[in-house]
Amino acid sequence: MVKLTETPDYKPIFGTNGIRGIPNKDLTVEFAQEIGKAIGTYYGKVSVAMGRDTRDTGNMIFNAVASGLMSSGSGIIDLGILPTPALQYYCKSKGIFGVVITASHNPPRFNGIKCIANDGTELRREDEEKIERIYYEKAFATVPWEDVGTLRGDPTSLELYLDGILSHVNVGKIREKQFRVLVDSGNGASYFTTPALLRKLGCSVVSLNTYPDGKFTSRTSEPRPENLKDLISLMKGGNFNLGVAHDGDADRAVFIDEKGNFIDGDKTLCLVVRSVIKPGTKVVTPISSSDAIDEICHDGKADLIRTRVGAPLVSRTMIDNRAMIGGEENGGIIYGEHQYCRDGAMTVALILNLMAVGGKRISEMISSLPQFFIHKLSVERKRDWKSLEPHILSYAETKSNDRSDGLKIYLSDGWVLMRPSGTEPIIRVYGQSRDEKRARELALEYEALILGLQEGPSAE
Ligand code: MG
């Protein structure tokens, strides 16, 4: 997590996915207002789209940031509660900058501030640095009273977003199938958008946790199998074609098959990639997704580009390489024909399109993919990551390693990736193998190693 304490020394404020913190602790109203002033100074006297997820602290942070922006002459278009990709699509469509108040899948005590460029993607790091410098130097452009920005709404933003998604799929074919879909929004920002999209696609929709609850009391926001027990149990015997779950700001979507099996986000990514690639297509994914995507790209004669972990980086690499498809193993899929950011609702439409056009059940499509498994764990980070790396390397009987982002070690029957999270004080551990049991064993083995090193004096 980024420490927001003011300091005369330059210190990054934006993390890998915007600013995150605990409201009234490190993410204070005073800070939010000043960062709003800095963002407004950087954006200039322009219209800025703003939105938020369902968190209870969203209004407080929203109003502070909006006040800062308006004091520097920005006019706010308040889009209210909506998924982050819906706000990004609005920014792309109108060619305007944006700010979204969200902490994505983080626990409800967190909130965050994320800046969107006028092409709809997350702001580049160098532009975030310019905002940070304005903030530290207090070089705010405070305008005279007659130029202070105003605030208005735009009720067309939802239709704009849904129409954009529908333009990329075969609506008639999907409607013919009359799919039964169970949706779990986890009380997040997709609570009205995904059910609305599914109804437009002629689906029979049953909703779970599709009401706003800023404390996420129904389930934890991260769409992992252990947090989706209600959805999974309702899918078993519910006679549904597909189950869908989103994270808090709905840039991610994960799926449950018609039998009630959780589908790993890595497999969804592979499925979508396989369906869209042609020889020469460029595909972008971080080092955390499985080797299945290498096989799929190899078979389809597509070019695969691996990046460090982080959705904004995948988006930017896609733009720089004119790649039309990319994404992460966590259910974040970026479909460049639509927009260059993760989009949970777009992913839902793409999967239904595949089911409708191909005429196969989701479980059949998944079982036809190269079989690789990823087991993910999180360990609390108590020590500096860099001090642990040499000890892990000396422990591992590794053939080769990749230190571009954390530490990825290649073993005879799989790989292990260990990296400190950019948004939380944890170390993520990924074990990957063709064998599900082995993937789990690898993750557990290195989790235990990291725990031991953090307890022992050898890590110092
Ligand atoms: Mg998210």
Rounded to the nearest angstrom, the distance between the alpha carbon of 340 and the centre of ligand 1 is: 15
Rounded to the nearest angstrom, the distance between the alpha carbon of 105 and the centre of ligand 1 is: 5
pLDDT, one tens digit per residue, over 300-319 is: 999 999 999 989 999 999 99
pLDDT in the model for residue 17: 85
Contact 447, 380 (CB under 8 A): no
Rounded to the nearest angstrom, the distance between the alpha carbon of 84 and the centre of ligand 1 is: 8
Q: Indicate if 368 belongs to the active site.
A: no
Rounded to the nearest angstrom, the distance between the alpha carbon of 85 and the centre of ligand 1 is: 9
340, 430: one domain: no
Who's near 106: CB < 8 A, 6+ residues apart?
Answer: 20, 112, 221, 248, 423, 424
398, 336: one domain: no
Strands 262-263 and 253-256: antiparallel
% of the chain at pLDDT higher than 70 = 97
pLDDT in the model for residue 195: 98
291, 325: one domain: yes
pLDDT tens for the chain, 460 residues long, are 344 444 456 789 998 889 999 999 999 999 999 999 999 999 999 999 999 999 999 999 999 999 999 999 999 999 999 999 999 999 999 999 999 999 999 999 999 999 999 999 999 999 999 999 999 999 999 999 999 999 999 999 999 999 999 999 999 999 999 999 999 999 999 999 999 999 999 999 999 999 999 999 999 999 999 999 999 999 998 999 999 999 999 999 999 999 999 999 999 999 999 999 999 999 999 999 999 999 999 999 999 999 999 899 999 999 999 999 999 999 999 999 999 999 999 999 999 999 999 999 999 999 999 999 999 999 999 989 999 999 999 998 777 999 999 999 999 999 999 999 877 789 999 999 999 999 999 999 999 999 999 986 544 3
CA distance 158 to 171: 18
Options 74, 104, 190, 315, the catalytic residue: 104
Q: Is residue 85 part of a domain?
A: yes
Rounded to the nearest angstrom, the distance between the alpha carbon of 297 and the centre of ligand 1 is: 26
151, 251: one domain: no
CATH code of residue 390: 3.30.310.50
CA distances 406 to 215, 413, 419, Å, are: 32, 20, 4
pLDDT in the model for residue 421: 87
Among residues 97, 129, 155, the one where a domain terminates is 155
pLDDT in the model for residue 8: 52
297, 280: one domain: yes
214, 343: one domain: yes
Among residues 105, 124, 155, the one where a domain terminates is 155
Among residues 121, 136, 155, the one where a domain terminates is 155
pLDDT in the model for residue 11: 83
Say what the alpha-carbon torsion angle 405, 407, 408, 413 is, to the nearest 10 degrees.
Answer: -170
165, 183: one domain: yes
Q: Is residue 8 part of a domain?
A: no
Rounded to the nearest angstrom, the distance between the alpha carbon of 229 and the centre of ligand 1 is: 20
Mean pLDDT for the chain?
A: 94
pLDDT in the model for residue 60: 98
pLDDT in the model for residue 460: 39
Rounded to the nearest angstrom, the distance between the alpha carbon of 147 and the centre of ligand 1 is: 35
Strands 97-101 and 180-184: unpaired
pLDDT in the model for residue 205: 98
pLDDT in the model for residue 344: 98
Give the total number of structural domains in the chain: 3
357, 418: one domain: no
pLDDT in the model for residue 10: 74
Rounded to the nearest angstrom, the distance between the alpha carbon of 273 and the centre of ligand 1 is: 20
Using DSSP, state whether 114 is helix, strand or coil.
strand
265, 325: one domain: yes
Q: Is residue 359 part of a domain?
A: yes
* Residue ranges making up the domain that contains 108: 19-155
pTM here?
0.93
Rounded to the nearest angstrom, the distance between the alpha carbon of 394 and the centre of ligand 1 is: 35
pLDDT in the model for residue 139: 97
Rounded to the nearest angstrom, the distance between the alpha carbon of 311 and the centre of ligand 1 is: 10
360, 384: one domain: no
pLDDT in the model for residue 9: 65
139, 247: one domain: no
C-alpha angle with apex 268: 370 to 365, nearest 5 degrees? 60
60, 166: one domain: no
| Closest CA relative to residue 287, chosen from 101, 174, 415, 140 | 415
